[in-house]
Amino acid sequence: MRGKNIFHISICLLISALIFTAFPAWGADYYIAQSAAGSGDGSSCGNARAVTWNWTSPTVAAGDTVHLCGTFTSTLTIPRSGSPGAPITVKFESGAKFAKPYWGPSYGDNAIYSDGKSYITIDGDNVGIIENTDNGYGKTYKTSYTGGMFINHGNYIEVKNLTVRNIWIAAYHDTVSSNQRNNGGIAIWNSSNVSIHHNTIHDAAVLISMVYTDAGSYSNVSVHHNTMYNCNWGLNIASGAASAVNLSNVSIYNNDIGLSSNWEDFPAQNNNHHNGIYMWNYSPGVFNTIAVYNNYIHWLPGAPGAWPQTTSGMWLESNITNIKIYNNLLVADSLAGPSNGAIQVSIGETSNWTQIYNNTIIGVQGPPWYSARCISYSSGGAGRPIISNNIMVGCNSGMYFWDRALDVPAGDNNLFYKNNYDYYFKTSTPTLARWKTSQGCSGGSPANKDCNSKSANPKFNADYTLQSISPAKWAGKSSGQLSPTDKAGVTWYNPPSIGAYEYGSVRK
């Protein structure tokens, strides 16, 4: 009997503990559509509120989810912020999309618009779509100021699992398209703590746009695991503000960016400064601590008779410091590739050295369609790049430096093959062998002079991983890699292999 009483007392104590224990509140769910449906109380897609609902009566609160139902032809304006640990989530239901001939012509007329709101998550849930249906070359409309999403002055913004497409359809040799740069897929401006990931974005002048027009300090930007193609710029992070803009801790990784000739207005080449990743800071401030890694940037088939189409796979320019570029795979098409550098860095660095490690760069590989440069660097300051463990194939210049007096690199254990010039300076164009002689490599192989670099066929598999007989296998600079794993997530050997993949990796 006594044991039975103890059992009942224990149960009562447990129930009391559960009653008085604080659990996180479950967020409420609201459903909206273009027009109200059913009872219009927002309890389901069948009873959705209209997109014009202002999120009051009842009030959408932090931690709540606003579900999107059906096709929208009006802008969704986000009127409220979430809170730390409890964002407001806007979630696409199956079949939900924003579709009209064009969104715009002002930023406030994009499909989704927010200004001054923070702790917001936009979740396409791998079904959501934002699109223009009739804008660009061969279409009824040619409206430039149009876009899928515009978010301004927000913090803790996440955009994921969404498809944004056909904002502007462009065509090779179309001068109208070539001048329409003010349209984009996802634009998040003047914001910190931003994550944009696992989206598919294509056919717009700028697929992801992060612009800082307001002076101040911003931080923590992450752009990763996106699939992007058919664009003038894939990802643009920029400031042209007259007052200082300071941006720190930017990570760009695991993106698949396909560059094509559809934004080229041949024969007036490079009118649009085409780039997969384009980062520039013309403000007096500094973009600091930039990591670009594990990306696959590739040139889609060029238009017949076209020059190498795209200015750069990635271009970082002006007032940017502490840059790390590693484990990237950049591959040209047989006719299309970088007319400047596959990796182009043009900065005023004076102390923190740019580090370019373990990239595999495949140029066009032969006249008359040489890719101009595999790696191109200019600082104009006291800084020097460290360039190690890279494979550079098929470029007019393996490494291109604007001024030998200022830009002579440090680094070692690179592999060159089928380049017209291994090195290019204003005053000389040495092969690797001549470069080694000029650096005194025969007298004891001084460190960081490319004395241990090679000129040889890298012996790739079809996916640019390494064959067992590759001269890049385990030939890298020991402890020279910038991450513990390669592009495929395989742990580096010691010494590591040269290029983006450790020997034995399977490409991802």
**Looking at 133-274, which runs of residues are DSSP E strands?**
146-152, 155-165, 183-189, 192-197, 200-211, 216-224, 227-239, 245-253, 256-259
> Mean pLDDT in the chain?
87
pLDDT over 60 at 100, yes or no: yes
Domain ranges of the chain: 212-464
What is the bridge-based pairing of β-strands 421-424 and 275-281?
Answer: unpaired
Name the more confident of 261 and 397: 397
- 433, amino acid identity: A
Res. 352: pLDDT tops 70 = no
Averaged pLDDT, 314-322: 93
Question: Does position 442 have pLDDT exceeding 80, yes or no?
Answer: no
Read off the pTM: 0.92
How would you classify residue 488: left for phi > 0, otherwise alpha for psi between -120 and 50, otherwise beta?
Answer: alpha
Q: Kindly report, residue by residue over 242-271, the tens digit of the pLDDT.
A: 999 999 999 999 999 998 878 876 555 555
3-state secondary structure of 52: coil
The pair of structure tokens assigned to 380 is: 């104009």
Rounded CA-CA distance 493/102 in Å is 52
Q: Is residue 232 helix, strand or coil?
A: strand
Task: Using a pLDDT cut of 90, give the percent of the chain over it.
Answer: 63
What pLDDT is recorded for position 15? 44
Q: What's the CA angle centered on 234, arms 221 and 487, to 5 degrees?
A: 70
Residue located via tokens 């912020």 = 81
Res 17: pLDDT: 44
Task: Classify residue 218 as exposed, middle or buried by CB count within 10 Å of its CB (0-12, 13-18, 19+).
Answer: buried
Nearest to 100 by CA among 144, 148, 67, 145: 148
Q: Is the pLDDT of residue 177 over 80?
A: no
d(CA 338, CA 352): 27
Among 150, 257, 146, 149, which residue's Cα sits nearest to residue 200?
257
Residue 11, pLDDT above cutoff 50: no
Structure confidence by residue, pLDDT tens digits, 22-66: 444 469 999 999 999 999 999 999 999 999 999 999 999 999 999
Residue 178, phi then psi, degrees to nearest 5: -65, -20
- The values of phi and psi at residue 383, to 5°, are -70, 155
Q: How far apart are the first and last CA of the chain?
A: 66
Rounded Cα distance between 504 and 340, Å, is: 32
According to the model, what pLDDT value does residue 407 have? 58
Do residues 176 and 209 make contact, with C-beta atoms less than 8 angstroms apart?
A: no
CA distance 80 to 77: 9
Beta bridge partners of 359: none
Tokens 């914001």, located at residue: 191
In this prediction, residue 18 carries a pLDDT of 40
Which ranges in 396-463 belong to alpha helices (H)?
Answer: 404-407, 432-438
pLDDT at 302: 67
What is the pLDDT at residue 405? 54
Whether 2 has a pLDDT exceeding 60, the answer reads no
- Identify the pLDDT of residue 20: 40
| Other Cβ atoms closer than 10 A to 390 | 30
Residue 343: CB atoms within 10 A of its CB come to 30
- Written as six digits, the tokens of 199 are 């989206």
Cβ pair 264, 295 in contact under 8 A: no
**pLDDT winner (highest mean) among 369-378, 400-409, 442-451, 486-495:** 486-495
100: part of which helix (H) or strand (E)? strand 97-100
pLDDT number for residue 271: 57
Q: Rounded to an integer, what distance in angstroms lies between the CA atom of residue 328 and that of residue 425?
A: 25
Q: Indicate whether 328 pLDDT > 90.
A: yes
Rounded-to-5 percentages of helix, strand, coil across the chain: 10, 40, 50
Q: Is the pLDDT of residue 294 over 60?
A: yes
Average pLDDT score over residue span 435-449: 74
Q: Of 165, 170, 154, 72, which Cα lies nearest the Cα of 121?
A: 154
Of 12-21, 81-90, 297-306, 418-427, the poorest mean pLDDT is in 12-21
Question: What is the structure's pLDDT at 265?
Answer: 66
Indicate if the pLDDT at residue 458 is higher than 70: yes
pLDDT of res. 91: 98
